[in-house]
Amino acid sequence: MKEIANILVMIFILSGSLLTLLSAIGVIRLPDVYTRSHAIGKSTTLGIMSILLGTFLYFFINDNHFEAPLLLSIAFVFMTSPVASHLISRAAYYSRVELWEKTVRDDLKHKRNEG
Amino acid sequence: MAFQILLNVFLAFVWMFLTVSFNGASFLIGYLIGLLIIFILRRFFHSRFYLIPLFVIVKLVFIFLKELLLSNIAVVKVVLNRSLDIRPGIFALPTELEKDWEVTVLSLLITLTPGTLVLDVSEDGRTLYIHALDVPDVKETIKSIKESFEKTIMEVSQ
């Protein structure tokens, strides 16, 4: 039983670090701020959450120790990370950072030009 | 809704005092009995029986988790694709939600949806400006997803 649970811990931590690596690759490969913020805001969130969950399960199974702060930090990361990526890309947009080749751009363009 | 929960806790305390046994188990029994009483008296409250919005909130949390997984798969696909054939763009989405927290939850959900990111909310809170990773093929499907999100959020706050 312990072995099976430890395999689960391994899967969580490995997939979390893999996702973090992939989002780092995404930051290098994607062309502009906004698409990069897609890669950062999503993959890193799930990556960190999965690493934290793996750590929590590890201590819970092996040491029988219920580490509640880890669960809390999962909730905090989950709530704050989308807001952070929203704020960063919004600030970038209003400081006139150029977009890559784009197709549709709506009303927001007028708003930026007048402000 | 908060008033009904508070009333239920109060009824559980009354049950504990009536039976003179102060422990978790009798609190639980009192809570269940209070739940039954509130269910019977539900037509005297202004809002709905409070378990219904509670279940919708649980549903919302599961939608959050599902969307987070799907968006990660989508982003990984884009990143690992050899040719970078994405067409990003910004589009406006009118929303019918009124309260501030509803718009916040909706934009959190949209940000966690595959390939969309909320760039700005208009001053009256009626339009969301969304940056999409791939405009041509996703725009319509995403709109339908958002209509379902919007509906779920409205269900919570009826």
For A60-98, write each residue's pLDDT tens digit: 988 888 888 999 999 898 888 888 888 988 888 888 777
Count: domains in chain A: 1
CA distances to A65, B10, B66, B88 from B117, rounded to whole Å, are 38, 43, 17, 11
Q: Which residue has the tokens 């905090």?
A: A76
- Give the rounded percent of residues in chain A with a pLDDT score beyond 90: 27
Residues near A38 by beta carbon (within 8 Å), at least 6 away in sequence: A26, A30, A85, B75, B78, B115, B117, B131, B133
Identify whether the C-beta of residue B123 lies closer than 8 Å to the C-beta of residue B143.
Answer: no
Mutate to test the interface with A, among B77, B91, B111, B128 (most CBs of A within 10 A): B111
Mutate to test the interface with B, among A42, A45, A93 (most CBs of B within 10 A): A42
Quick check: B80 and A22 CB within 8 A?
Answer: yes
pLDDT in the model for residue A105 = 64
State the smallest CA–CA distance between residue B114 and chain A in angstroms. 9
- The model's pTM is 0.79
DSSP letter (8 states) at residue B130:
E
Quick check: A39 and B79 CB within 8 A?
Answer: yes
Quick check: A86 and B72 CB within 8 A?
Answer: no
Residue in B with minimal Cα distance to A47: B72
Domain range holding A103? 1-114
- pLDDT tens digits, one per residue of B70-114: 888 888 888 887 777 777 778 788 888 888 888 888 888 888 877
- Please enumerate residues of B whose Cβ is less than 8 A from a Cβ of A: 64, 68-69, 71-72, 75-76, 78-80, 84, 86-92, 107-108, 111-112, 115, 117-120, 127, 129, 131, 133, 135-136, 139
Identify whether the C-beta of residue A83 lies closer than 8 Å to the C-beta of residue A45.
Answer: no
Amino acid identity of residue A104, one-letter, is V
